[in-house]
Homo-oligomer: A and B are copies of this chain.
Amino acid sequence: MGTTTASTRARSWWGWGYEDQAVPRDEVLATAGRLAERFDRAVETIDPPDIADLDLRAPRVAVPAALAEWCSTTPADRAAHTYGKSYRDIVRAVHGELPEPPDVVAFPATEADVVAVLDWCSSAGVAAIPYGGGSSVVGGVECAVGDRFVGVVSIDLGRLDRVLEVDPVSRAARIQAGALGPVLEEQLRPHGYTLRHFPQSFELSTLGGWLATRSGGHYASVYTHIDDFVESLRVVTPTGISESRRLPGSGAGPSPDRLFLGSEGSLGIITEAWMRVQDRPRWRASAGVVFGGYEEGVAATRAVAQSGLFPTNCRLLDGLEAATAAGTSGVAALLVLGFESADHPVDTWMARAVELCRDHGGDVPAGVQASDGTARARDDAVGSWRSSFLRAPYLRNGLVCCGMLLETFETACTWDAFDELHATVTESVNDALQRICGGGWVTCRFTHVYPDGPAPYFSITAPARIGSELPMWDEVKAAASEVLLAAGGTITHHHAVGRDHDPWYRRQRPAAFGRALTAVKAELDPAGILNPGVIV
């Protein structure tokens, strides 16, 4: 078998990102030291093993000769495709715990290759785990599927990464599912377009992954979930290819696309999609609004979300989050507001949003920053996203190796439920952190807002004991998930379900709908090979 991989730039096999972007060790140690001091303990460290030292289970199956050219059984490929990139995943990899790696990693270069590998899996009883950028933080690409299968193949779509067609009249593009965020944006840029979908995982997540998990974009309101940008999907199921018609809207029966959106690879593998793209923005305005009370910040954010102004950014950070992420100290809440347009100046929009915030006790100490539209398409959004977000997961790689527990979880709820959800989540998680980790804190920001509710995103920082990370985290996570569900939230707004959220997802999902999905799975994937244990 060959060793074809999707990219030549080396990625970390055990943690987030590209190896050449790793944060220097002394910087990691300095940060870990500051954290450890706050937790009143010493820094422990552990080094991830070399791939050569991993004692991976020998491959249990051999792929047919026709597939061999684009399949790999190298330890590097198998180790890198064993897990996603959650805290659990990184911890297990760092400890060299990879008891269930894929037997084979397939790198299909064409849709026919995808069909061929699924045909083989169905006939041979091999589990098939679709793999986009591998950025899952919920166990969505994990290869632990138990003994029901003779083997497991991880199907890496990374070579299907082309923008195949651009329709400048309808502003849409046909894009292969394996394209990473930067790869597809680079191909859209010469046409003046952007998909304008910037999840934090942008650098190493793919269009197909976004679609399969109902990804939430970087932008805050109106068209933000990837669902809303889909014109049509092409999906390889084990029993045939499903392709929907390119349509701006339709009322012809239940939406075919919405069945596959969120199916997380359990019903088929998305190979390409016609996506709605957008002109690159020319006008932008941003403002930071500070509040003396958190409740005032929430009320102001709700007013903006219900105003019909549709801000592109509307993130409410709590005081601790504002201090750590934005360096704003001494405030109870910071609302980061932004508007942008490719068509018109956005001053009027921003002025009204700021007015609403002031009506709710907000203050705008630094005023509004605006671009005047004369400079064409200066990419502030991507630029500021890069600087604020890109480095965080790289730093986490190092901090996890210093015994720090760093993880996030997220939800969405209606506005009427938020106060109690926020209070009970914060209390429950802080209690759990004290009890289990002996310290730590949880912060909250809104990643998205809707007229009827926010999507709160919680970040945990705590000390763990190296060697005991998993049971510690699992207990914190269970406490958080229980209280999210009890308070009326969803188990996930945009991180997806995967294997990690399965117990809570099954409780949240209407039972009749669960039976419907099981029936669909039996029809489309009768051998049950696709991502076993996920969704269905």
Chain A positions 489 through 533: 1 when the CB is less than 8 Å from some CB of chain B, otherwise 0:
111111111000100010011111101111110111000000000
A273 to chain B, nearest CB (A): 13
Q: Which chain B positions have C-beta within 8 A of A225?
A: 249, 251
A468 CB within 8 Å of chain B: no
- Among residues of B, the one whose C-beta sits closest to the C-beta of A504 is B252
A248's contact among B243, B307, B455, B513, by CB below 8 Å, is which?
Answer: B455
Q: Which chain B positions have C-beta within 8 A of A222?
A: 222, 310
Interface residues on A, range: 35 or more
- Which chain A residues (181-237) contact chain B, with CB distance < 8 Å? 213-216, 222, 225, 231, 235, 237
A360 to chain B, nearest CB (A): 14
A261 CB within 8 Å of chain B: yes
Given A216-B251, A225-B251, A251-B496, A242–B309 Cβ distance below 8 Å? Answer: no
A367 CB within 8 Å of chain B: no
A123 CB within 8 Å of chain B: no
Q: Which chain B positions have C-beta within 8 A of A509?
A: 252-253, 256
A416's contact among B170, B250, B308, B455, by CB below 8 Å, is which?
Answer: B170
Do B251 and A510 touch across chains, with their CB atoms under 8 A apart?
Answer: no
- Which chain A residues (145-171) contact chain B, with CB distance < 8 Å? 167, 169-171
Q: Which chain B positions have C-beta within 8 A of A519?
A: 519-520, 522-523
A239 CB within 8 Å of chain B: yes
Q: Which chain B positions have C-beta within 8 A of A341?
A: 308
Do B512 and A239 touch across chains, with their CB atoms under 8 A apart?
Answer: yes
A25 to chain B, nearest CB (A): 36
Do A524 and B517 touch across chains, with their CB atoms under 8 A apart?
Answer: no
Complex CA gap A213/B415 in Å reads: 28
- Among residues of B, the one whose C-beta sits closest to the C-beta of A419 is B169
A394 CB within 8 Å of chain B: no
- Among residues of B, the one whose C-beta sits closest to the C-beta of A414 is B170
Do A258 and B256 touch across chains, with their CB atoms under 8 A apart?
Answer: no
Complex CA gap A523/B523 in Å reads: 12
A interface, CB within 8 angstroms of B: 167, 169-172, 213-216, 222, 225, 231, 235, 237, 239-256, 258-264, 267-268, 276, 278-279, 302, 306-310, 341-344, 348, 352, 356, 412-417, 448, 450-455, 488-497, 501, 505, 508-513, 515-520, 522-524, 535
Inter-chain pairs besides A247-B414, A250-B492, A252-B492, 17 sampled, C-beta below 8 Å: A225-B251, A231-B414, A240-B511, A240-B512, A241-B512, A242-B511, A247-B412, A250-B493, A251-B262, A251-B494, A252-B505, A252-B509, A253-B264, A267-B516, A348-B348, A519-B519, A519-B520
4 shortest interchain CB distances as A-B pairs: A248-B453, A242-B512, A248-B450, A258-B258
